Chain A
Amino acid sequence: MSGARVRAALAGIADAAGLSLAERSVPGHVAELSDALDPRDRSWSYLILAVLRTRIPPADDVVAFARRWQSEGLPVAIAPELRRAGRGRGPVARVVNATLVDVTDTSRSPYTTGIQRVARETVAAWKQSIEVCEVCFDPDTGRLRARSDNSPVVPFGGRFVLPEIAVERARSTAIASIARFSRSATLAIGFDCIPMTTAETCGPGMPGAFAHYLSTLARFDVVTPISAAAGDEFRGWRRMLVGVGLEGPRIDDVDLPFTVGDASTVDVRQVLGIDESDPIVLAVGSHEPRKNHVRLLEACEVLWRRGIRFTLVMVGGNAWNTRRFDSLLSRLRRAGRPIVTRSAVDDDVVWGLYRVARVTAFVSLNEGFGLPLAESLAAGTPAVTSSFGSMAAIGAERGALLVDPRSVPDLTDALASAVTDDALHARLVAQTSGVPQGYGWSDYAARVLERLDAVTVEAQGDV
């Protein structure tokens, strides 16, 4: 049995290298590979290790194997790998030359974060136009598997696309190895560099893991940031690579679309128990520190004290470091302030909320894009948002009041105007018609694909 498994693996390696094996014995196969392949091209070491191990080898292993092959010969270097492969079970990894899309998190997670929405919509759109092989890293073994039949695969000579972020170290290590050695054209969607540039607002563990993910992206051919502001972060990071002596990927911004789904027929006010006459101030997003919801609550409290009537609706959960938020929220609740919070709401309820809200408050300290802001404006509802980055780019002249989100007085004044000044509100509503029309997810996905096509030819064979 074990000999057959090893021979199948070696046949797969030979096939991927364009060789047909004449010998029948394992040592004969190894000798043929040794004659035909040059260890100085490390993609061969990657290929051999990946197939024999049924998992992507870390770059350090690839380099160490190649050196040993070079100095002591392939039979010596490969011997321990053959022994281990012979003891292994299960199918031998299949070498795949195709467009692989890594949807590990998106396929696993029940949440719909911004990142997962982008990944889902994009991959769905790609499937309409090209052959896509969706792949996932197995959380326990680190194996890369085809999503269709769960079989282990080894990318080689095709394209590898990362439409989400990969922060588990084993996965990110494997992807770095793919980018360096698999002769694949590689593209990643770049969401932001927040865990590097705004680490103080992140949950513990994220900045360290994210730095590793960035070191993986350093080996990619192209990164497509989701906005010009996110692009500025990635271009800044790419400049930081000068000390490592790596050029880094091409950074090509592809803006996300402004879309909002159809609202269901449910009466959102009734569902949430909000009086018909009360204006709604809507905040969509988790209560993590970066979203700045503590200052937003304080600003709302000032408005309520001034006697301004409105209900604050906050939709979002799944956050960290919310102690300060929770404590202020319960204080305001005790004081009888009209605040409605929901952690899990169907998309169509959110879309319904955008339509009935007086104003959306989205005053984050840093965003790659800001989907809730774009969605609110696409629904024709004005917003109060931060005066910099992607939020300013999305909101300026399109129905948003721009404020310094670190200043509670500024935030308070802007919210007061949006809620009480009908003429201003009408002007802002009119401005929302400036939101780009007719650019949807399929257009976005097509633009990203163009960037991948552009690098495919030049990137293949690059090691």
Chain B
Amino acid sequence: MSGLELGAALRSRLLEAAPVLLTEISRSELSSLTDGQLLRGILESARDSTRRAAWLAYVAIAGAFPVPTQLDDFESALRLASDSTLVKDAVTSIDIGDRRHRRPDREITVVQNLVIADVNFCATHAHNTGIQRVVRSVMPVWRGASHPHLLVAWTDDDAGYRELTEVERARVVEWTHDAPRVTPQPAEPGRIIVPWGATLFLPEVPQYAQCGPIVAMAEAGVVDVDLIGYDVIPITSADSVAAGESERFAIYLDVVKHARSVLAISDTVAAEFEGFVAALPTQGLTGPVVHSVPLAVDVPAGARDAAAAARGTADIPIMVCVGSHEPRKNQEAVLFAAERMHREGHELGVVFVGGGNRVAYADFDRRVRRLRRAGMRVESHRRLDDDGLWRLYGRARFTVFISLHEGFGLPAAESLAVGTPVLVSDSGSLAEIATLGGCLTVDPRDDEAIADGMRRMLEDDELIARLQDEAMSAPTRSWSQYAERLWQLVGKPSAA
């Protein structure tokens, strides 16, 4: 073995991992070891220790995070090898054909006892709906409060975590709508961040290829995973999404299974994840603890003023329906009820706002145009800037949000926050929002109930006045309160 000459990057990785794995050897002694001695020492320590140690040894040798089966193969090789074949068997058990294992030149930095936040999507995309808005509201609060944490994203080949570039950091903690839309290609990082005894905070839903490496870290005890649970729509509303989305989510549930805690964005979502956790003892797992940490009910500064300025400016009662165009959001039922109101002789204007798949909404938009030609005041907008949205809420007599399944229901919460009453679903997270006041609830699967509710909102001025009062006086929960509550749960010391 004395002749073994490893690449400089491998030696550097082994030296970074060695102080953690070879605690009985001093740092100065470590640097005097030959490459072969270093490698053998690390492998022997991994063989005689835990899966956690095997994970770090793997990362040091491969320069990439393993998925669970890769770590299994590595451990198996360690167990079955004889002393003389240990190094060869262990190294050859690593699948160098894997696309995540093709950069043996990377170095690693071991990060211990820290909260690591995986904000990969927000860092690398300018998209800004649901989840991204939560992440971009929370992370600036943590930074402002100097809560110690490290933002990370994945390398392009999903080999491991890396630090963010300045542009990416700004996209997460200093988000503005005119932030650069084009993603500048990050300089391909030569260094991977390796968590060790850390808390891994997942405020996003990781992508398919990232779930395996995260699961391996979690079940090996390298990190404690705390994640924000947004919903289980791809499972329990699988009939309203593409099969691929359900599939990716089922793989994400492997991450959930091995997490320490789920921070659910509503009581309903907490109950959904508790249901999943209750299914786990059948496979010998206990699963995460589930906390309900409801999202903020708040709007940006200026939204209320914009809405207030627009109040009373409409010539007829306006009903607004905000949400991406998909079957789950139930726009068809809204349009059907609105059409009935129109036929009954009610004076109303209907405004739909929300993007979506062109194929999905083409037929809807065609019917909207037909109704308009028939004299009904109805519009369907696919894009609207925030300011336009607040003014629209302000002009509206009420909004309608009768989605069949939501994790939270931001449009309903935002409508309330600017003082506009909402016709809302009577179950799930939307029923929770209705308890804040300002809402009339209906069964979103009952066309008659929807029409009755809409009729009341149109006819009953006293009801509207009362709901407006309730909406105006509804308690707000700010984003900083939400972010601080998360920190209380995530920032506690890791047991890993």
Sorted from nearest, which 7 A-B pairs have the closest CB atoms?
A: A239-B275, A236-B279, A245-B427, A208-B247, A388-B284, A207-B250, A208-B243
Contact with A along B244-259 (1 / 0, CB 8 A): 1111011101100100
Cβ contacts under 8 Å, A432 to chain B: none
**A386-B274 CB under 8 A given contacts A207-B250, A208-B247, A294-B72:** no
8 Å CB interface, B254-308 against A = 254, 257, 268-269, 271-284
Partner of A71, one of B69, B232, B336, B429: B336
Cβ contacts under 8 Å, A404 to chain B: 284
- The docked-state distance in angstroms from the alpha carbon of A294 to that of B79 is 14
Closest chain B CB from A226 CB (angstroms): 12
In the complex, whether B224 has a CB less than 8 A from a CB of chain A is no
In the complex, whether A90 has a CB less than 8 A from a CB of chain B is no
Q: Flag if A40 contacts B282 (CB, 8 Å).
A: no
Cβ contacts under 8 Å, B251 to chain A: 199-200, 207
Closest chain A CB from B97 CB (angstroms): 11
Q: Flag if B246 contacts A71 (CB, 8 Å).
A: no
In the complex, whether B355 has a CB less than 8 A from a CB of chain A is no
Q: Flag if A71 contacts B343 (CB, 8 Å).
A: yes
**A237-B339 CB under 8 A given contacts A244-B405, A404-B284:** no
Known contacts A211-B247, A245-B405, then 4 further A-B pairs from the complex at CB < 8 Å, ordered by chain A residue: A67-B336, A241-B236, A243-B405, A243-B407
In the complex, whether A286 has a CB less than 8 A from a CB of chain B is no
Contact with B along A195-211 (1 / 0, CB 8 A): 11111101011011111
**A233-B247 CB under 8 A given contacts A199-B253, A245-B405:** no
Residues of B within 8 A of A (CB): 68-69, 72-73, 76, 79-80, 212, 215, 231-239, 242-247, 249-251, 253-254, 257, 268-269, 271-284, 327, 332, 336, 339-340, 343, 404-407, 425-429, 443-445, 447-448
Q: Flag if A197 contacts B283 (CB, 8 Å).
A: yes
Q: Flag if A211 contacts B238 (CB, 8 Å).
A: yes
Cβ contacts under 8 Å, A294 to chain B: 72, 76
Q: Flag if A211 contacts B235 (CB, 8 Å).
A: yes
Q: Which residue of chain B lies nearest to A200 when distances are taken between CB atoms in the complex?
A: B254
Q: Flag if A243 contacts B236 (CB, 8 Å).
A: yes
Cβ contacts under 8 Å, B277 to chain A: 236
Q: Flag if B275 contacts A208 (CB, 8 Å).
A: no
8 Å CB interface, A217-242 against B = 218, 229-230, 232-242
Closest chain B CB from A191 CB (angstroms): 12
Q: Which residue of chain B lies nearest to A39 when distances are taken between CB atoms in the complex?
A: B447
Q: Flag if A244 contacts B236 (CB, 8 Å).
A: yes
Partner of B236, one of A205, A230, A240: A240
- The docked-state distance in angstroms from the alpha carbon of A408 to that of B245 is 35
Closest chain B CB from A328 CB (angstroms): 8
**A242-B272 CB under 8 A given contacts A173-B239, A216-B239, A218-B236:** yes
- The docked-state distance in angstroms from the alpha carbon of A322 to that of B9 is 34
- The docked-state distance in angstroms from the alpha carbon of A117 to that of B405 is 37
Contact with B along A168-208 (1 / 0, CB 8 A): 01000100100000000000000011011111101011011
Closest chain B CB from A463 CB (angstroms): 11
Closest chain A CB from B278 CB (angstroms): 4
**A242-B428 CB under 8 A given contacts A212-B238, A324-B73:** yes
- The docked-state distance in angstroms from the alpha carbon of A196 to that of B236 is 10
Partner of A390, one of B282, B405, B444: B282
- The docked-state distance in angstroms from the alpha carbon of A361 to that of B376 is 70
In the complex, whether A346 has a CB less than 8 A from a CB of chain B is no
Cβ contacts under 8 Å, A71 to chain B: 336, 339-340, 343
**A197-B232 CB under 8 A given contacts A211-B250, A245-B444:** no
Closest chain B CB from A255 CB (angstroms): 14
- The docked-state distance in angstroms from the alpha carbon of A404 to that of B219 is 15
Q: Flag if B283 contacts A388 (CB, 8 Å).
A: yes
Cβ contacts under 8 Å, A405 to chain B: 284
Q: Which residue of chain A lies nearest to B215 when distances are taken between CB atoms in the complex?
A: A200
- The docked-state distance in angstroms from the alpha carbon of A324 to that of B69 is 9
Determine chain B's interface SS by DSSP, over half rule. Answer: helix
Q: Which residue of chain B lies nearest to A71 when distances are taken between CB atoms in the complex?
A: B339
Q: Which residue of chain A lies nearest to B277 when distances are taken between CB atoms in the complex?
A: A236
**A245-B281 CB under 8 A given contacts A208-B243, A298-B76, A324-B69:** no
- The docked-state distance in angstroms from the alpha carbon of A40 to that of B251 is 40
Q: Which residue of chain B lies nearest to A66 when distances are taken between CB atoms in the complex?
A: B447
- The docked-state distance in angstroms from the alpha carbon of A232 to that of B281 is 8
- The docked-state distance in angstroms from the alpha carbon of A440 to that of B282 is 24
A-B contact count (CB 8 A): 185
* 24 sampled A-B residue pairs with Cβ under 8 A: A59-B239, A64-B332, A67-B332, A193-B279, A197-B276, A200-B254, A207-B247, A207-B251, A208-B247, A211-B247, A212-B239, A214-B236, A237-B275, A238-B275, A239-B271, A239-B278, A243-B233, A243-B269, A244-B404, A244-B405, A245-B426, A298-B79, A389-B281, A389-B283
In the complex, whether A260 has a CB less than 8 A from a CB of chain B is no
- The docked-state distance in angstroms from the alpha carbon of A209 to that of B239 is 10
Cβ contacts under 8 Å, B215 to chain A: 200
**A196-B250 CB under 8 A given contacts A243-B406, A243-B428, A245-B428:** yes
Cβ contacts under 8 Å, B233 to chain A: 243
Contact with B along A282-295 (1 / 0, CB 8 A): 00000001000011
Closest chain B CB from A144 CB (angstroms): 19
In the complex, whether A365 has a CB less than 8 A from a CB of chain B is yes
Contact with B along A21-64 (1 / 0, CB 8 A): 00000000000000000001000000000000000000110011
Closest chain B CB from A180 CB (angstroms): 10
Cβ contacts under 8 Å, B284 to chain A: 365, 386-389, 404-405
In the complex, whether A343 has a CB less than 8 A from a CB of chain B is no
Q: Flag if B232 contacts A240 (CB, 8 Å).
A: yes
**A215-B237 CB under 8 A given contacts A199-B254, A240-B276:** yes
In the complex, whether A301 has a CB less than 8 A from a CB of chain B is yes
Partner of B250, one of A60, A208, A232: A208
Q: Which residue of chain A lies nearest to B340 when distances are taken between CB atoms in the complex?
A: A71
Partner of A243, one of B68, B231, B426, B447: B231
Q: Which residue of chain B lies nearest to A298 when distances are taken between CB atoms in the complex?
A: B76
Cβ contacts under 8 Å, B336 to chain A: 67, 71
- The docked-state distance in angstroms from the alpha carbon of A169 to that of B245 is 14
In the complex, whether A116 has a CB less than 8 A from a CB of chain B is no
Q: Flag if B448 contacts A232 (CB, 8 Å).
A: no
Q: Flag if A301 contacts B235 (CB, 8 Å).
A: no
- The docked-state distance in angstroms from the alpha carbon of A214 to that of B234 is 11
In the complex, whether A366 has a CB less than 8 A from a CB of chain B is yes
**A214-B238 CB under 8 A given contacts A243-B428, A389-B283, A389-B284:** yes
User: Could you say which of B239, B406, B444 has the most chain A C-beta atoms within 10 Å of its C-beta?
Assistant: B239
Cβ contacts under 8 Å, B283 to chain A: 197-198, 365-366, 388-389
Q: Flag if B79 contacts A408 (CB, 8 Å).
A: yes
Q: Flag if B271 contacts A40 (CB, 8 Å).
A: no
Partner of B278, one of A210, A212, A236, A365: A236
- The docked-state distance in angstroms from the alpha carbon of A298 to that of B93 is 14
Q: Flag if A169 contacts B243 (CB, 8 Å).
A: yes
Partner of A230, one of B257, B275, B282, B340: B282
Q: Flag if B282 contacts A233 (CB, 8 Å).
A: yes
Cβ contacts under 8 Å, B343 to chain A: 71
Cβ contacts under 8 Å, B212 to chain A: 200
Closest chain B CB from A25 CB (angstroms): 29
Partner of A240, one of B275, B444, B448: B275
Q: Which residue of chain A lies nearest to B271 when distances are taken between CB atoms in the complex?
A: A242
- The docked-state distance in angstroms from the alpha carbon of A216 to that of B240 is 11
Cβ contacts under 8 Å, B426 to chain A: 245
Q: Which residue of chain B lies nearest to A232 when distances are taken between CB atoms in the complex?
A: B282
- The docked-state distance in angstroms from the alpha carbon of A272 to that of B256 is 44
**A197-B236 CB under 8 A given contacts A207-B246, A236-B277:** no
